[in-house]
């Protein structure tokens, strides 16, 4: 049988259920990656740099199995229709299901176009559980984190993990390679992203090394230091997880294994890391039930009832690290240089934009989307809506990060600031932190009342 393995956000060979199933069921197998022609929320600009490198890595790994990777820009339904014309009606397209709303829409088009032939076959997933499985006792949807997390844990502790088995001895005959990864034009005209090579090592094998280095060593320092912005104590696995260079299920299973080890039973480091991974699951879950949460507030009245500022100059200054508030500017500089910043820095800069400058979270979301190498639609939307208090999972109306206090607490000796700002800011803060915080409270007061009513 001439079949296809359709890679999406699962750019790996190991623990890849769709790939192992496709290899088992096929006489001839070709790999395909499709980048939609017009969809700015498929993969952000900085993440495209990573995607290019990760696809190159994957292509090399697949070749060892005799599997050719062809890449396309365009409409998946049209591309697969042509494949089926060429390969025959019985062609199966194997893939792992992604709950990303953009991918779900693409899949829906493919399913509708190929409805008679039913060629699309889901095998694994990009989350541990299908969002349809996690429901409240009344069969409702979880809107806040802790109860979701409790149910998630009760299910995962009972789960039988199945990662498939990759038959590395099976060799296919490579098919014609008529495209190059460079055809996707993911890195052309983006000289600013060249510097990312200093900070990132894309590809499955590098991701596995990073995961092992973290799980078997660094994790022991996680709880006490995960908010440390000066040094890297967190896993920095977000981008590898987002592109599926490592399987999220496998990562969870490794952590769960350690819970069974008496030495780690009460280990807060592993529990805290496990909890962060559940936040990712919650982000995917929440977006599945709020498919436009990257475009508008989940509490949609927040978009119209909060008096958001339309000041483009303030927004530009925030983007360009010119707010005059050191910790915010240093964070934004790190983002621009490295395509990444620690969670604490994301919260501080997002809070400053939405609360102190009063600018709608969606503008910041879009900037992060295009500048974060680990940009993920669900986690980014949740991060922004959590900070700006526009979704049920955030209780942030009254919480406004004071960047000066954050600086004192997390960078008392200005190490972070000096690292990212060539010289300490000589710019006067573009707003007064204290009076803008008071104004934010007044703006949000209306919303709080609406929510309570």
- In contact, 386 and 396? CB cutoff 8 Å: yes
Edge-to-edge order in the sheet of strand 93-97: 68-73, 28-35, 2-7, 93-97, 120-125
- Nearest Cα to Cα of residue 348 among 395, 430, 442, 411: 411
Name which of 87 and 354 has its Cβ closer to ligand FAD.
354
Q: Is 58 in the site for ligand FAD (CB under 6 A)?
A: no
Q: What angle, 0 to 180 degrees and rounded to 10, lies between the N-to-C axes of helices 326-338 and 403-410?
A: 70
Ramachandran sector of residue 385 (left: φ over 0; alpha: ψ -120 to 50; beta: rest): alpha
Which residues, including other chains, have CB under 8 Å from residue 292's CB and lie 6 or more apart?
101
Q: Is 236 in the site for ligand FAD (CB under 6 A)?
A: yes
Residue of 384, 397, 401, 444 interacting with ligand FAD (CB under 6 A): 384
Residue of 358, 383, 389, 403 interacting with ligand FAD (CB under 6 A): 383
Name which of 166 and 230 has its Cβ closer to ligand FAD.
230
Beta-strand runs (E) in 25-92:
28-35, 68-73
CB of 76 to ligand FAD, least distance (A): 24
Q: How many CA atoms lie within 13 A of 336 on its CB side?
A: 14
CB of 375 to ligand FAD, least distance (A): 4
CB of 219 to ligand FAD, least distance (A): 9
Q: Which residues of 22-57 are buried (b: 16+ CB within 10 A; e: fewer)?
A: bbeebebbbbbbbbbeeeebbbbbbbbbbbbbbbeb
Give strand pairing partners of 345. Answer: none
Q: How many residues interact with ligand FAD (rule CB under 6 A)?
A: 29
Binding mask 401-440 for ligand FAD (x = CB under 6 A): ----------------------------------------
Q: Is 242 in the site for ligand FAD (CB under 6 A)?
A: yes
Name which of 170 and 399 has its Cβ closer to ligand FAD.
399
CA distance 313 to 298: 27
Question: Which residue carries 């807060």 as its tokens?
Answer: 268
CB of 314 to ligand FAD, least distance (A): 18
CA distance 339 to 445: 35
CB of 401 to ligand FAD, least distance (A): 11
Residue of 237, 373, 437, 440 interacting with ligand FAD (CB under 6 A): 237
How many angstroms separate the first and last alpha carbons of the chain? 61
Residue of 93, 229, 350, 447 interacting with ligand FAD (CB under 6 A): 350
Q: Which run of H or of E encompasses 435?
A: helix 433-452
Site for ligand FAD in 259-298 (CB under 6 A): 276-277, 279-280, 283
- In contact, 237 and 207? CB cutoff 8 Å: yes
- In contact, 171 and 67? CB cutoff 8 Å: no
Name which of 172 and 279 has its Cβ closer to ligand FAD.
279
Residue of 87, 96, 235, 293 interacting with ligand FAD (CB under 6 A): 235
Residue of 253, 337, 343, 414 interacting with ligand FAD (CB under 6 A): 343
Residue of 234, 321, 326, 406 interacting with ligand FAD (CB under 6 A): 234
Report CA-CA distances (Å) from 94 to 48, 174, 350. Answer: 24, 18, 39
Name which of 22 and 241 has its Cβ closer to ligand FAD.
241
Site for ligand FAD in 359-378 (CB under 6 A): 368, 372, 374-376
Beta-strand runs (E) in 348-403:
none
The DSSP call for residue 107 is: H
Give strand pairing partners of 125. Answer: 97
Site for ligand FAD in 200-229 (CB under 6 A): 226
CB of 423 to ligand FAD, least distance (A): 27
Q: Is 243 in the site for ligand FAD (CB under 6 A)?
A: no
CB of 274 to ligand FAD, least distance (A): 9
Q: Is 247 in the site for ligand FAD (CB under 6 A)?
A: no
Closest residue by beta carbon to ligand FAD: 383
Q: Is 335 in the site for ligand FAD (CB under 6 A)?
A: no
Residue of 26, 119, 356, 379 interacting with ligand FAD (CB under 6 A): 379
Q: What angle, 0 to 180 degrees and rounded to 10, lies between the N-to-C axes of helices 45-63 and 204-215?
A: 100
For residue 14, how many other CB atoms are within 10 A of its CB? 19
Residue of 5, 84, 241, 440 interacting with ligand FAD (CB under 6 A): 241
Kindly list the residues in this chain that would bind ligand FAD in the complex (CB under 6 A). 226, 234-238, 241-242, 276-277, 279-280, 283, 342-343, 346-347, 350, 368, 372, 374-376, 379-380, 382-384, 387
């Amino acid at each position: 049988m001439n079949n296809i393995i359709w890679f999406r956000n699962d750019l790996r060979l190991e623990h890849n259920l769709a790939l192992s199933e496709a290899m088992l069921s096929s006489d001839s197998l070709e790999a395909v990656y499709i980048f939609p022609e017009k969809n700015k929320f498929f993969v952000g600009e900085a993440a495209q740099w990573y995607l290019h490198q990760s696809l190159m890595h994957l292509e090399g790994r697949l070749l060892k199995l005799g599997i050719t990777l062809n890449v396309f820009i365009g409409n998946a339904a049209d591309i697969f229709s042509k494949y089926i014309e060429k390969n025959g009606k019985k062609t199966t397209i194997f893939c792992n299901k992604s709950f990303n709303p953009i991918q779900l829409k693409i899949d829906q088009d493919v399913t509708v176009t190929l409805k008679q032939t039913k060629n699309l076959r889901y095998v694994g997933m990009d989350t541990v559980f299908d969002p349809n499985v996690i429901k409240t006792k009344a069969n409702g949807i979880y809107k806040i984190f802790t109860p979701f997390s409790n149910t998630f844990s009760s299910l995962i502790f009972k789960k039988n993990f199945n990662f498939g088995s990759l038959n590395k001895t099976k060799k296919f005959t490579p098919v014609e390679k008529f495209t190059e990864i460079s055809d996707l034009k993911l890195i052309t005209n983006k000289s600013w992203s060249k510097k990312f090579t200093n900070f990132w090592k894309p590809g499955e094998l590098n991701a596995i090394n990073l995961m092992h280095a973290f799980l078997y060593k660094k994790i022991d320092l996680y709880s006490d230091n995960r908010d440390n912005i000066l040094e890297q104590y967190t896993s920095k696995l977000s981008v590898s997880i987002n592109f599926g260079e490592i399987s999220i299920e496998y990562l969870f299973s490794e952590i769960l294994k350690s819970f069974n080890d008496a030495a780690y039973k009460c280990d807060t480091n592993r529990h805290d890391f496990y909890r962060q991974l559940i936040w990712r699951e919650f982000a995917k879950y929440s977006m599945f039930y709020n498919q436009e949460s990257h475009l508008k507030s989940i509490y949609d009245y927040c978009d119209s009832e909060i008096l958001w500022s339309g000041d483009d100059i303030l927004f530009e200054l925030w983007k360009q690290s010119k707010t005059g508030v050191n910790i915010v500017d240093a964070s934004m500089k790190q983002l621009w240089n490295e395509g990444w910043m620690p969670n604490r820095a994301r919260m501080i800069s997002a809070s400053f934009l939405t609360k102190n400058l009063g600018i709608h979270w969606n503008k910041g979301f879009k900037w992060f989307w295009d500048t974060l190498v680990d940009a993920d639609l669900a986690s980014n939307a949740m991060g922004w809506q959590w900070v700006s208090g526009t979704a049920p999972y955030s209780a942030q109306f009254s919480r406004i990060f004071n960047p000066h206090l954050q600086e004192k607490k997390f960078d008392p000796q200005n190490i972070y600031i000096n690292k990212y700002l060539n010289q300490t800011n000589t710019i006067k803060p573009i707003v007064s932190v204290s009076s803008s915080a008071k104004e934010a409270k007044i703006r949000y007061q209306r919303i709080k009342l609406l929510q309570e009513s």
